[in-house]
Amino acid sequence: MEEVAQVVNSLDALKPFAVGLTIAIGGSLPAFAIGKIVTSGLKAIGRNPDAADKIQTSMILGLAFAEAIAIYALVVALIIKFV
């Protein structure tokens, strides 16, 4: 029974590292994706200003999806921390 308690205590010690890693990866990769989306959208608008409305709509939709992934990472980190 003591061995099980030691394993549980060692897993509890790793929780802060797991939370930090989840937030680091879950925040940095969507941020990189958002930068790529905006860069590509602005380049496309620069090449074809008449299509700016359609490009901007698609760009904003892509930004929302990328940001949703970051929010999912935050939720996972909170679950790891408090469960």
Residue 67 has pLDDT above 90, yes or no: yes
Mean pLDDT rounded to a whole number for the chain: 91
Domains of the chain: 2-82 (1.20.20.10)
pTM for the whole thing?
0.79
Per-residue confidence (pLDDT) for residue 13, from 0 to 100:
84
> Do 68 and 7 touch, CB atoms closer than 8 A?
no
Query: Which tokens hold the place of 77?
Result: 């980190």
pLDDT tens track for 24-63? 999 999 999 999 999 999 999 999 999 999 999 999 999 9
Question: Which residue do the tokens 């929302």 mark?
Answer: 64
What is the DSSP code (8-state) at residue 48?
A: -
